[in-house]
Structure 1
Amino acid sequence: MFDSHYLPLINGRFTAFSEETFPASNAATGEELATITRSGKAEVDAAVAAAKAAFAGWAATPAAERAKLLLKVADWLEENTERLVQIDARDIGRTVFELPQDYRQAIGQYRFFAAAILTHDGWNNVVPGGWAIAKREPYGVVGQIIPWNVPSIMVSFKLAPALAAGNTVVLKPDENASLSTLELAKYLAEIFPPGVVNVVPGFGEEAGEALTAHPDVAKLAFTGSTEVGKIIAHAGASRLAPVSLELGGKSPNIVFPDIEDMDAVVDNTTFAATFCNGQSCLAGTRLFVHDDIYTEFMAKLTDAFRSIRIGSPLDPATRLGCLVSSKQGERVMKYIESGRSEARLVTGGERVEVADSQAGWFIAPTIFETGNKTTIAQEEIFGPVLSVIRWNDFDTMIHEANDIPYGLASGVYTSSLRNAMRTADRLQAGQVWVNQYVNLVDGSPFGGYKASGLGREVSKETLHMYTQLKSVMLAEQVPPPFYV
């Protein structure tokens, strides 16, 4: 299924300059799955040098040829989805039930950008005595750093647009979720010219810091916490390198009293808070429920949370697996303890034991009734913990929905077009999903307001992030003498 040891991918070869390794461990059982060579400054320097040397040739490759290779990546992922799902389920504790959707979305990204790059051009116009042209050109070497929660999606969000646009890439996967990325890297090494794609697994303070500080990295792209995003933004600013960031969230999910199918809304809001084991920056973790339906809705929501089947990530019947690590588990439990002291615990709140998976941090789906100013309502928890806030005044609710440092995603449930549109207009969020949370569509811009990031992914707008404009003015002839 996977190798016992992995090396960084540098210049088309799997190689390293260090003998230091770190383990990839089964999130549920603690079993060591493989060892991975730990990339440091030497590996990053070599990867950047390889990407820099490969850039001119790759940028000159016709867009149609670059697109063909992205389509090959999509086909390979499609053929290997079942195996890669099994790897991710072990590596990060996500369930085999929901991981196939990750790969469907990742496959869609490679195919979307393979098509989008063919129509991504600049601008031209006829002017008196000549022509005015604006052409889009890739930046060069792009340094990309991704998190552990949805590795296949994160790799596709970063690689597909950057490569389509003609950049070369040095990618650092998270140390908690490198296996499926390194399996993909074996195929990337086969089909892309050496140096076009380089993968340097390792830790943020070593590989990540070396990559963000490297003077030959022309652009940085990061998905992860807002705190680390600020550090990377400073690193880019220090040498005026452009930075795109997809960061944290604490998304409001708003239920109006005019909903027609309460059971369906309860199901979707439950999914919004607990998919990805709650470890998602776009999760709907603040649920605003109107007074008129609050009691009935909360009863159904509580039953829905209690009915979620917790178990081994490898069991197809499991709907909630384990958190990625003990560090993350302990972090979530600290937030739950904070919630016990400042809000009302409705259900959940405890660690659950699962047979043959004693090392895993399985957290019961948790609901708190709370106000908007509590710690659990303001800070990103990254676990299956939902804060429910009661509302009855539209303006007050909108104020509270926006009264947060973040602005990544949001949800609205209503049968009224007026309610949907006036709420969408006033929410300070990059995504507003009406009547279906996490309604991600290839080509629909994805990104955040405020502390949730800079830039947009998943769309043609993303190609703008990975290219820069050059203006070329062509005159038919040299003008008559000016100084005579």
Structure 2
Amino acid sequence: MAQIIEHDKLFIGGRWVEPAGAETIEVVSPHTEQLVARVPHATPADVDTAVATAREAFDHGPWPRMTLAERAEVVIRIKDTLLARHREMAELITLQNGSPITFSVRGQALSAVGIFGAALAAADRLQLEEERQGLTGPVLVRRQPIGVVAAVVPWNVPQFTIAGKLAPALLAGCTVVLKPSPETPLDSYLLAEICDQAGLPEGVLSVLPADRETSAYLASHPGIDKVAFTGSVGAGKAIMAAAAQNLTRVSLELGGKSAAIILDDADLSAAVPAIVGGTCAANSGQACVALTRVLVPASRYDEVAAGLTAAFAALKVGDPMDPATVVGPLVTKNQQQRNLDYIRIGQEEGAKILAGGGVPTGRPTGWYVEPTLFGEVTNDMRIAREEIFGPVVCLIRYETEEDAVRIANDSDYGLSGAVFTADVERGTEIARRVRTGTLTVNGFRLDPAAPFGGFKKSGIGREFGPEGLAGYFEYQTVNLPVPPRQP
């Protein structure tokens, strides 16, 4: 058995300190179901210390008072060190949450590097002060850092979601209290080490692994100026309610039930692999952006069903450390049971299992669920409306293009989506009609240089690109003296 990773200190304000309490978090491998690590569980007292340290660093420390270029030099060192240690980071993530190692390298560690790079590029183009002519006289419009940021991140893509908050917050001049999920604290320990080596001043970053109760305490803390959260709709509502006590600003990136619209002229040889890549192959389906509703014209339904059924059946399920694995285990036994419950619900609702439908055979340990494709799904079924967060996908018939758009929009969510067609202009016009934050024509991707976030219950605000960076500033207007009138 591999040696258990032990951490006995918390990273608070750039220092490794003893935790206030004795409680610990035990990290269990989703593949072996064995204990792999143990870290301290941060308490409200630790939150108080971290917030006070961040507050002091923001109010009186050098970080917000450095030039943007000086802060960028530190962030570049963080990015470069993260790149140099990306394999180590990827392996830690796979150890904790079962993400297939090929996805952990590309979609977790290297994607985080890309997000840091895109944030640096956006900052390089940023104008912190702008003098304009107002209606009553000249004005100076200034961007000022928003303050102390609480970054609360999930277990599914921890470094991806951390980078989307930490990079712009640091560049803006904010200080950050990072609260990783109890399922995935180890990668944040490595990130703290990287940031410390990069030369972040004292107080700028703290890392507090903890549960939802500590997250709520952090979000309700009067010393916090902004909460940046990624997670479920239910948790997002709790975070927003906690932050509302102090009118703390929030940005929320929440769930999704995204639609992939296959038009009647689509090339299925390209569409099917893209849909697989945006569903089961996207972190074993544990992705808020997953294309979990596939809308198919009735005239091509059988053809699409056959193609996706064969593709799902061919996916390699297994050890997440095996580079050939496409679908790994789900993060916890509860997540496995949640997926199995939805598979049962789908059958009870009248949907037909075309592929998968249970636990893979020959796997005595691990929280695995087979890549599962449902046919004969209607958009009023629970499996089509509720976020399952696993390798479970629904096929839904439509009759006309207008019908497809209506079904795509008939959702409480609006985070991602795709449209597949031989006519790019037609696909782009469809994209304009779907109320979703990101939509790809003939593919599935996110671009860290472009704004990412959701409509409806999928969230509030945007991350990535200039728009994401803007979320970490407050705007100040300075009314300048009106020049005397010339005779």
TM-score by length of 2: 0.94
| In the alignment, structure 1 residue 195 sits paired with structure 2 residue 203 | yes
Q: 1:143 aligns with which of 135, 138, 150?
A: 150
The answer for the alignment partner of 2:32 in structure 1 is 29
Return closer, same or farther for 1:320/1:354 CA change in 2, 3 Å cut-off.
Answer: farther
Give the drift of 1:477.
7.2
Q: 2:466 aligns with which of 460, 463, 468?
A: 460
The within-5 A match list for 1:117-132 is: 117-121=123-127, 122-126=129-133, 131-132=138-139
Partner of 1:324: helix, strand, or coil?
A: coil
- Give 2:93's aligned amino acid: D
Deviations 1:384-422 (A, max 9, x none): 000100112122221111111000011000011342132
Partner of 2:36: helix, strand, or coil?
A: strand
Conservation of the 8 A alpha-carbon contact between 1:68 and 1:114? no
Give the drift of 1:123.
2.7
Q: Which piece of structure 1 moves more, 209-218 or 393-402?
A: 393-402
Q: 1:39 aligns with which of 38, 42, 53?
A: 42
Partner of 1:98: helix, strand, or coil?
A: helix
- Give 1:209's aligned amino acid: A
The answer for the alignment partner of 1:208 in structure 2 is 215
Q: 1:283 aligns with which of 263, 277, 290?
A: 290
Deviations 1:142-180 (A, max 9, x none): 111000001110110110011111110001000011111
C-alpha separation between the residues in 2 aligned to 1:286 and 1:279? Answer: 14
The answer for the alignment partner of 1:348 in structure 2 is 356
The answer for the alignment partner of 2:176 in structure 1 is 169
| In the alignment, structure 1 residue 272 sits paired with structure 2 residue 278 | yes
| In the alignment, structure 1 residue 73 sits paired with structure 2 residue 78 | yes
Q: Which piece of structure 1 moves more, 121-130 or 360-369?
A: 121-130
Partner of 1:340: helix, strand, or coil?
A: helix
Deviations 1:265-320 (A, max 9, x none): 11111111111110000000000011222212211110000000011001111111
The answer for the alignment partner of 2:441 in structure 1 is 434
Identity %: 36
- Give 2:176's aligned amino acid: V
Return closer, same or farther for 1:145/1:131 CA change in 2, 3 Å cut-off.
Answer: same
The answer for the alignment partner of 1:218 in structure 2 is 225
C-alpha separation between the residues in 1 aligned to 2:8 and 2:415? Answer: 34
C-alpha separation between the residues in 2 aligned to 1:94 and 1:248? Answer: 19
- Give 1:461's aligned amino acid: E
Give the drift of 1:128.
9.6
C-alpha separation between the residues in 2 aligned to 1:353 and 1:217? Answer: 49
Partner of 1:352: helix, strand, or coil?
A: coil
Give the drift of 1:3.
4.1
C-alpha separation between the residues in 1 aligned to 2:185 and 2:369? Answer: 24
The within-5 A match list for 1:367-446 is: 367-369=373-375, 370-437=377-444, 439-446=445-452
The answer for the alignment partner of 2:54 in structure 1 is 51
Conservation of the 8 A alpha-carbon contact between 2:100 and 2:322? yes
Return closer, same or farther for 1:339/1:74 CA change in 2, 3 Å cut-off.
Answer: same
The answer for the alignment partner of 1:112 in structure 2 is 118
Give the drift of 1:237.
2.2
Deviations 1:412-450 (A, max 9, x none): 00011342132111101011110011x222211100000
Q: 1:62 aligns with which of 44, 62, 67?
A: 67
Conservation of the 8 A alpha-carbon contact between 1:23 and 1:36? yes
C-alpha separation between the residues in 1 aligned to 2:337 and 2:111? Answer: 30
The answer for the alignment partner of 2:372 in structure 1 is 366
The answer for the alignment partner of 2:309 in structure 1 is 302
Deviations 1:356-406 (A, max 9, x none): xx3311111001110000000000000000010011212222111111100
Paired residues in the alignment total 474
Partner of 1:383: helix, strand, or coil?
A: coil
Q: Which piece of structure 1 moves more, 119-128 or 410-419?
A: 119-128
The answer for the alignment partner of 2:7 in structure 1 is 5
Return closer, same or farther for 1:416/1:35 CA change in 2, 3 Å cut-off.
Answer: same
Give the drift of 1:88.
1.2
C-alpha separation between the residues in 1 aligned to 2:217 and 2:286? Answer: 27
Give the drift of 1:96.
1.0
Partner of 2:243: helix, strand, or coil?
A: helix
- Give 1:395's aligned amino acid: E
C-alpha separation between the residues in 2 aligned to 1:325 and 1:36? Answer: 18
C-alpha separation between the residues in 2 aligned to 1:130 and 1:189? Answer: 46
Q: Which structure 2 segments of 5+ residues have no match?
A: none
- Give 1:66's aligned amino acid: R
Q: 2:455 aligns with which of 432, 449, 460?
A: 449
Give the drift of 1:73.
1.1
Deviations 1:201-259 (A, max 9, x none): 01111x20210110010111100001111111122222211110000000010001112
Q: Which structure 1 segments of 5+ residues have no match?
A: 480-484
Q: Which piece of structure 1 moves more, 401-410 or 27-36?
A: 27-36
CA RMSD after TM alignment: 1.8
- Give 2:373's aligned amino acid: I
Partner of 2:353: helix, strand, or coil?
A: strand
Conservation of the 8 A alpha-carbon contact between 1:245 and 1:454? yes
Q: Which piece of structure 1 moves more, 94-103 or 139-148?
A: 94-103
Return closer, same or farther for 1:347/1:468 CA change in 2, 3 Å cut-off.
Answer: same
Conservation of the 8 A alpha-carbon contact between 2:142 and 2:477? yes
Q: 1:229 aligns with which of 236, 253, 258?
A: 236
Deviations 1:96-123 (A, max 9, x none): 1211112221101112222322332243
C-alpha separation between the residues in 1 aligned to 2:136 and 2:248? Answer: 36
Conservation of the 8 A alpha-carbon contact between 1:124 and 1:134? yes
Return closer, same or farther for 1:46/1:426 CA change in 2, 3 Å cut-off.
Answer: same
C-alpha separation between the residues in 1 aligned to 2:388 and 2:264? Answer: 28
Partner of 2:101: helix, strand, or coil?
A: coil
